[in-house]
Amino acid sequence: MRRGTYRCFNHGERLAIGKCNDCGESFCGDCLHVYTLSSEGARAILYLCPSCLRKRHVERAVGLIYLGVIFLLFGIFTALVSIPFGVLMTLIGVGSIIYGSMKKQERLGELTIDEVQAEKEKRKAQLVTVEEIEPEEIYNELLTQYVNRWGARAGIELLENEIMAYTRRGVSFPEAVKKVYQRQRKKPT
């Protein structure tokens, strides 16, 4: 192996595109998962291999289970003084233990780098096809979405206001409809 050429830790035949932020090993795009870490209003994007990602999920689930055990024990002791409050704390504890156990077994939802790239390409292709669709068809689809989400009156008003914002800048009505549609498609689902 030449110096500077890294291979995927899991797939030796594939070139690595990055390193796991936790273990430091090199991985391909099918192995590195995009993990968003949020803390006190700050966000960071980490790239984690499958085993480190699983470890983080298990640690979070185990934390919920421990919290549940604390609530359970607190509830049992509190029931000696106040039965209703003790029962409530016990139920919260049991619920937290069950939820943590379920989260521990849950399938990981973070996308791999290759999946994120494929999603970007798919959205890009959808935006290109907007040029081929008639504005009236796009408007009807948008109107249906807005009405279903916000109700008839509010949905129509919101859609018209968004289109009007573009037309005030000198964009034609059909182009404004396409721009609103494209903006809606860019929003994460």
Please list the pLDDT of the chain residue by residue as tens digits (189 residues).
445 568 899 888 988 888 999 999 999 888 888 888 887 878 888 899 999 988 988 998 999 999 999 999 999 999 889 999 999 999 999 999 999 888 888 777 777 888 888 887 877 766 556 666 788 888 888 888 888 888 888 888 999 999 998 888 888 888 888 888 878 776 654
CA dist 15 and 29 (Å) reads 9
Looking at 26-96, which runs of residues are DSSP E strands? 26-27, 33-39, 42-48
CA-closest candidate to residue 126, choices 175, 73, 187, 66: 187
> In angstroms, how far is the first alpha carbon of the chain from the final one?
42
CB atoms near residue 6 (< 10 Å): 15
Q: Which stretch of DSSP H or E encloses residue 76?
A: helix 50-79
Q: What is the pLDDT of residue 189?
A: 47
Span 128-161, pLDDT tens digits: 566 667 888 888 888 888 888 888 888 889 999 9
Looking at the chain, which runs of residues are DSSP E strands? 18-19, 26-27, 33-39, 42-48
Locate the domains of the chain by residue range.
Answer: 51-105, 127-186
Which pTM does this prediction carry?
A: 0.56
Ramachandran quadrant class, 8 (left: phi over 0; alpha: psi -120 to 50; beta: rest): beta
